[in-house]
Amino acid sequence: MDLNPYFVSRQIRNNRAMPPIIQFDHVSVCIHEKTLLSDISFDLFAGEKAVLYGKSGSGKSSVLRTLLGLNPLTQGSVYFQGKPLDPVSIQAVRSRIAYIGQEPILGAESVREALLLPFQFKSHRDHKPTEDQIVEILQRLQLSADILRQDSSRISGGEKQRIALARGLLLGKSLYLLDEVTSALDAESKRAVFEVFSDARLTVLSVTHDPDWIERCDLVFELEEGHLIKRRGRAEHQSF
């Protein structure tokens, strides 16, 4: 069986029997009389890798925040696995999504505590990872196990981003919202991150300005002043 991520994701996309993992249906978001998103519609199927790009303030990060229920909808609907996002479903939705921002907050003093932080919460308490699992994930992201002993305030921005990614991977989440996660990474670390997220089981909706990252995505959505102005599949995007 061909496990090429692109091939697999296209297969999934063609299989319309499954509802999209994410669906934005004519979504508009206005906060304090400022329009952040205007009539945005798109969908994303399981296994696909999508990227949002556009100038600063074009609404890329707002799409991610809206999906996480952090921006109230002015109009339209957001669906997660075919079900509308609402106060009842939001915690279950969040527990399926890993969000990693440009400047991730680790929320604990040491790196080890930061990695284990989510396992203090009721939703993950019974799934605490073993030491071997932690070390394996760190190695996949080009991080040494020694980093576990370090103070989380003393590690570099790139290391912070990879620790936040590792935390998401340890939680075994299937949907990853990545906001400029390669911005502080060197070429080697970036390759390691690409490698991890090429896994066909993972769905990725990312925000980036990085041409290498955009090149590797199946779907490209271009935003301008809150409007979705262009969408391209991988085939049309090869020359990007």
Partner 1 sequence: METLDITLPRMALLYGLCLLPWLLLWLIGLRLSRDIGISILRMTVQLSLVGIYLKVLFELNDPWLNGLWILLMLLVADLSILQRAGLKARYFFLATFTAVASSILFSTAYLVMLVIQPALYYDARYIVPLAGMILGNCLQGNVIALERFYSALRKNEKEYETFLMLGATRWEAVLPYFRAAIKAAINPTIAGMATMGLVSLPGMMTGQILGGSEPWIAVKYQIAIMICIFTSTAVASVINLKLSLNIAFDGFDVLKSEVIEKG
User: Under the rule (CB under 8 A), what is the footprint of partner 1?
Assistant: 32, 68-70, 72, 86-87, 90-91, 94-95, 97-99, 101, 104-105, 107, 117-118, 120-124, 167, 171
CA distances from 208 to 58, 163, 177 (A): 12, 19, 11
Nearer to partner 1, 5 or 168 (CB): 168
Nearer to partner 1, 109 or 224 (CB): 109
As measured in angstroms, the least distance from the Cβ of 115 to partner 1 is: 11
As measured in angstroms, the least distance from the Cβ of 97 to partner 1 is: 7
Rounded distance between C-alpha atoms, residue 38 and residue 20, angstroms = 21
Nearer to partner 1, 169 or 200 (CB): 169
Tell which phi-psi region holds residue 151, choosing left (phi > 0), alpha (psi between -120 and 50) or beta.
beta
Q: How far is CA 98 from the centre of its chain?
A: 6
Q: 110 pairs with which residues across the strands?
A: 151
As measured in angstroms, the least distance from the Cβ of 157 to partner 1 is: 15
As measured in angstroms, the least distance from the Cβ of 99 to partner 1 is: 5
Nearer to partner 1, 94 or 191 (CB): 94
Rounded distance between C-alpha atoms, residue 108 and residue 105, angstroms = 9
Nearer to partner 1, 121 or 235 (CB): 121
As measured in angstroms, the least distance from the Cβ of 120 to partner 1 is: 8
Nearer to partner 1, 35 or 198 (CB): 35
As measured in angstroms, the least distance from the Cβ of 85 to partner 1 is: 8
- Long-range contacts of the stretch 10-18 (C-beta < 8 A, 24+): 10/218, 12/45, 12/46, 12/47, 12/48, 13/45, 13/48, 13/218, 15/45, 18/45, 18/46
Nearer to partner 1, 25 or 215 (CB): 25
